[in-house]
């Protein structure tokens, strides 16, 4: 290719990238995707284009295509530290998340509670006796006292707060593993789907120790369009850096939430 043709091709690709950014800012994600795809066709060795398109494909739930793009980026020499972990996470969790609606319907899932009282389900990764756990405990006890049926999803624990809740009639649903294990809580989509289908809550409250806590369960609620509220107990720069690869999942969750409390 002559230098003139190469320059023209780069200019055309740059135009498509700018157009993609414009559509993305306007919220026209599928138009943005089309522009990124055209740009990559014009400039197939431009690694940032693959990453930008991959992020958009994740946001629009085209996870398998995003994984393929990330793998292509690695093949082209991408050195971003988060890429291998992101590919592994998406590959591990995609199959479960893609079957969420089918599993929920098969289990008879419904957001209507069979109980006469409105049913609120709190889902938390905080199962100890201090900090965020105390906030969740006070909130749930108050909701019971004003007439709501309440269920509490957490890792197994046995302490005085659990005893107090049980005395009030709050049902505890124990998770299979400790939700402080990020890999577990980011991939237990099937377990979360079964919990929601069985509990049939009218409202879910996610009590998150940090922004990426309970990630799979929150993605499930978002996909199923269940009504939920987000409570984020701690925002920390160190955690944000540690889990930077997963922060892109949060905007869609927060947009779907009825409210976000930090």
Q: What is the mean pLDDT of residues 137-165?
A: 90
Q: What is the DSSP letter of 170?
A: P
Q: For residue 79, what pLDDT is reported? A: 86
Q: Range(s) for CATH 1.25.40.10 in the chain?
A: 3-80
Q: Determine the 3-state secondary structure of 210 from DSSP.
A: coil
Query: What digits encode the pLDDT tens for the residues 119-129?
Result: 999 999 877 76
- Is the predicted pLDDT of residue 205 greater than 60, yes or no? yes
Comparison of pLDDT for 101 and 146, the residue scoring more: 146
Q: What number does CATH give the domain 102-261?
A: 3.40.50.720
Q: For residue 129, what pLDDT is reported? A: 66
Q: Determine the 3-state secondary structure of 8 from DSSP.
A: helix
- Is the predicted pLDDT of residue 3 greater than 60, yes or no? no
| Structure tokens, 9 | 């091709």
- Is the predicted pLDDT of residue 111 greater than 60, yes or no? no
d(CA 170, CA 188): 23
Q: What is the mean pLDDT of residues 188-206?
A: 90
d(CA 200, CA 216): 18
- Is the predicted pLDDT of residue 60 greater than 90, yes or no? no
Confidence class for position 5, pLDDT limits 50, 70, 90: very low
Average pLDDT, the chain: 84
Fold for domain 3-80?
A: 1.25.40
Q: Range(s) for CATH 3.40.50.720 in the chain?
A: 102-261
- Is the predicted pLDDT of residue 169 greater than 90, yes or no? yes
| Structure tokens, 209 | 């120790």
d(CA 119, CA 203): 7
- Is the predicted pLDDT of residue 192 greater than 80, yes or no? yes
């Amino acid at each position: 290719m002559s230098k003139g043709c190469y320059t023209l091709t780069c200019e055309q690709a740059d135009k498509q990238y700018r157009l993609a950014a414009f559509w993305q800012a306007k919220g026209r994600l599928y138009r943005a995707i089309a522009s990124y795809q055209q740009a990559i066709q014009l400039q197939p060795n431009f690694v940032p284009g693959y990453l930008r398109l991959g992020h958009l494909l994740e946001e629009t739930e085209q996870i398998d295509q995003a994984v393929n793009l990330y793998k292509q980026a690695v093949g082209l020499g991408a050195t971003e530290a988060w890429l291998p972990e992101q590919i592994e996470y998406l590959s591990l969790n995609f199959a479960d998340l893609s079957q969420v609606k089918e599993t929920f319907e098969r289990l008879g899932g419904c957001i209507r509670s069979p109980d006469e009282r409105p049913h609120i389900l709190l889902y938390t990764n905080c199962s100890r006796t201090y900090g965020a756990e105390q906030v969740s405990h006070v909130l749930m006890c108050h909701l019971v006292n004003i007439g709501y049926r309440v269920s509490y999803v957490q890792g197994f624990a046995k302490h005085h707060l659990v005893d107090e809740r049980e005395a009030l009639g709050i049902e505890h649903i124990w998770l299979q593993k400790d939700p402080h294990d990020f890999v577990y809580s980011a991939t237990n989509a099937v377990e979360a789907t079964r919990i929601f289908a069985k509990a049939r809550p009218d409202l879910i409250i996610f009590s998150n120790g940090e922004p990426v806590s309970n990630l799979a369960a929150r993605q499930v609620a978002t996909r199923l369009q269940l009504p939920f509220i987000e409570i984020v107990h701690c925002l920390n720069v160190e955690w944000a850096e540690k889990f930077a690869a997963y922060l892109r999942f949060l905007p869609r969750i927060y947009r779907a939430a009825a409210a976000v409390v930090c």
